[in-house]
Chains A and B, each alone.
Chain A
Amino acid sequence: MNYENWLKNILDRHSAIPVTIERDWIRVTVSPNLLPELVGALTHDWIFAGIVPENDPGIQAVRLLYVFYAQHGPWVGIEVSNHDQSVPTVSALLFAADWQEREMEDLFDVHFEGHPQLGDFVLHDDHWPEGTAPMRRHSWEIHPKATEPQDLSMPRIVEAPGSFVMPVGPVYSGTAESIQFHLETVGEEIVFAHIRPFYKYRAVEKILEGQEPSVALLIAERIDGLTAFAHSLALAQALETLADTPVPPRAKLLRVFWAEFERIRSHIHVLAGILESTGLSVPANLMQALEENLLQVSGVSAGHRYLFGLNKLGGLSRDWSHAEIQTIVHQLGTVVQQSQRISDALAFDNSFLDRLESVGVLNRDLAISHGLVGPVARASGVNRDLRAWQEYAAYDQITFGIPVQSEGDGYARFRQLCQEIDQSYGIIQQIPPLLSPETPMASGVRITETGTAFGYVESPSGAIICGVSVNGQGMIERSRVVTPGLVNWHAFPQAVRHFAFQDFPIILATFGLSVADLDR
């Protein structure tokens, strides 16, 4: 594999760089000035996972890990000691790091030299003074400032006679989540779009600190209620790695089962949203009824309509008999069949296709440079799927193909979702025969050693990467959740450029983005 060459190259050139092998990843410690060079060498063959903060045990400060992984390869964390709180930006080499650096700057007060747009991102400047750095303080030390009425600040980059900004949100549309868009326009077409997110920033990563693992899972699944199982799975896997406890095979398989169940439900939710945005109310309502169907199935079988509380450290909190599993598969089959019937009919519906085809195009280059994840990336021709690339849980026992589209338009994203529903149902059908009845559903987990580990899950909307470090008492010390929302929202403004206002809600719906997932 090329990562060996890369490591060898690095070590050949800079012999002083220390390389340590952690539990399941490689730590490379460099000084800030070497960072761009190392990251630049990684950008082509490795995937950027995110920036994960870690407490420096020596001097009670924060250091950053730039985490990368390779297809079927190991994970690498480039550790940067930034004692002077200043690190050169890598966004110019790796645009996917743009928002992550902005986030780190707001939360940790790390200055990224050369980054053009720092400040006023996670913490809105009208409530939080610059330099608040909440993640470096105790929570009782952080107070928002009193706000005086002032004009909303709007970035302007369009220079055209008569151009203006169309603000949308934060409170807009029926049951839309709170986020704000500043659409720069000269009237009909969106010339440029800016996003102002983090209206609902709840500081999940801060409240995770000092929590014991079982409660931490409850918090993690409330990052995004619609992909709760994937979020808790990512955190659980990270913690299980830290505890070095194997999960029983039956629990692993059933985790895959419920993860795929959630994927189908989430995709049907997105499909319903797309149909609603195109104004086709009959199929939209049918789709929504199917979603409700699945919510009820999970309510009956898992005790919660959104699968909250299902994951448990070391396994799952419930068990099901073979008959129960078969019933769920059967109910799922009916739903999948009906949703397929609707989407097949839509493929011949001109009024539907006209609104999706060649609308909201995001080409492959943009998808790669923004480091897109999930169905959105796969619809733009980027074959990226953690289930196949990293084979967590029980995905190594299952055979499945990854559907990929090439056009990157709204219709490609629609088709991608439909095909992934089929694929997930295929995975679910493989699971019941593999289940062995006797194994326990969960193993006891105790974390005794300090350290940092990564949990990674391909959630319905893309890769969730969860970096956690724990202290000696088994409590969470630092955590970082890189969500698909954080990555995919970054690219969304590029997809709406040059399209008319009436296309905007449709493009938004085809992305299937969750604001809660971005804001955390």
Chain B
Amino acid sequence: MLWFREGLYQSLKTLTPQEEFSPSPGLTPGRPAPTAMEDAALGAICPTHALQEQERLVEIDYARCIQCHFCHQRTPGMNWEAGYHWAEMKSPGLPAPFRHSLQVRVIDAGDCGACLNEIHQLASPVYSLHRFGISFTPAPRDADVLMVTGPVTVSIKEALEEAFGAVPEPKRVMAIGTCALSGGIFASSFAVAGPVDQVIPVDIEIPGCPPPPLAILDGCRLIMGVRSKYPIKEG
């Protein structure tokens, strides 16, 4: 079979800017949003203690939220926001030469497979991260960004440190997923050495369980400093 021809016959699969602008629930599951309400039981509902009530306002610690819908399902008034601009920068992005090219090394530090698969989906025609000049590299020596997923287990900690040491400056570390930010649901495990920022410095955090591919892509573009150029509503 002529696969090249077959590929051409398929219609364009990549998301249009319109689809990215108002993402369907299939592209992003959304997450709980701060809600003005008073419910003493709300704190106990959350299995990862991500809800904090302060002066009649329920705040959400997104580094802990695993989007289990418990608060949403059990408390009808709880707000739920769509969108995917979840990335949070802790340090400035990479310098200008990286605007058109970013090499990414992914480190699985105890991931359940979902975050990793969402990263992997970025390479699919639907998200096509290559159009932004981003590509995955197997060697940390060539990488500019380390994407770390999972709660960092004791056994993988050393490999993570090695990989961080092997990435040349300037480099950025992207912690992807709730597990990487706080340990998530595995935070209490004895085999978990702690969230990523306890092992190596983290520059950008992308919460979510798992964060949808668009959120990760958004984070990459933040690091590259090109997000404002793209017609997307700021999160």
Contact = CB atoms under 8 A, between A and B. Distances in A.
Contacts of B68: 218, 308-309
Contacts of B155: 124, 127, 198-201
A134, A303, A348, most chain B CB atoms within 10 A? A303
B7 A285 contact: yes
B26 A200 contact: no
Interface in A273-314: 280, 282-283, 285-286, 288-289, 291-292, 295-300, 303-306, 308-309
Given A147-B158, A286-B10, A202 B189 contact: yes
Interface in B1-20: 1, 3-4, 6-7, 10, 13
A160 interface: no
B74 to A, nearest CB: 10
B113 A225 contact: yes
Contact of A202 (B10, B25, B192): B192
A430 B212 CA distance: 32
Given A170-B156, A348-B1, A206 B114 contact: no
B193 to A, nearest CB: 8
Contact of A516 (B113, B163, B188): B113
B62 interface: no
B75 to A, nearest CB: 15
B25 A291 contact: no
B29 A303 contact: yes
A247 interface: no
B32 interface: no
A303 B136 contact: no
B47 interface: yes
Contact of B26 (A203, A224, A305): A305
Given A308-B209, A345-B6, A292 B24 contact: no
B191 A282 contact: no
Nearest to A344: B1
A209 B227 CA distance: 44
A214 B47 CA distance: 9
Contacts of B217: none
A177 B113 contact: yes
B212 to A, nearest CB: 7
A225 B137 CA distance: 24
A345 B155 CA distance: 43
A172 B186 contact: no
Contacts of B184: 222
B3 A200 contact: no
Contact of B27 (A173, A198, A225, A299): A299
Interface in B177-235: 184-186, 188-193, 209-210, 212
B69 interface: yes
A104 interface: no
Given A206-B190, A295-B26, A309-B68, A289 B126 contact: yes
B100 interface: no
Given A172-B138, A304-B67, A202 B151 contact: yes
B137 to A, nearest CB: 8
A348 B185 CA distance: 46
A176 interface: yes
A303 B110 contact: no
Interface stretch (B33-41, B51-59, B91-99, B116-124): B116-124
Contact of B124 (A173, A203, A289, A305): A289
B150 interface: yes
15 contacts: A127-B155, A139-B190, A171-B140, A178-B110, A178-B159, A200-B109, A203-B190, A207-B186, A288-B120, A288-B124, A303-B29, A308-B114, A515-B113, A516-B112, A517-B113
Given A295-B26, A297-B26, 19 more contacts: A171-B162, A174-B136, A175-B119, A178-B156, A206-B190, A206-B191, A207-B188, A214-B47, A222-B112, A223-B112, A282-B6, A289-B125, A299-B24, A299-B26, A300-B26, A306-B117, A306-B210, A345-B6, A515-B108
Closest 10 CB pairs of A and B: A225-B114, A296-B26, A299-B26, A282-B3, A288-B124, A225-B113, A225-B112, A200-B110, A203-B191, A282-B7
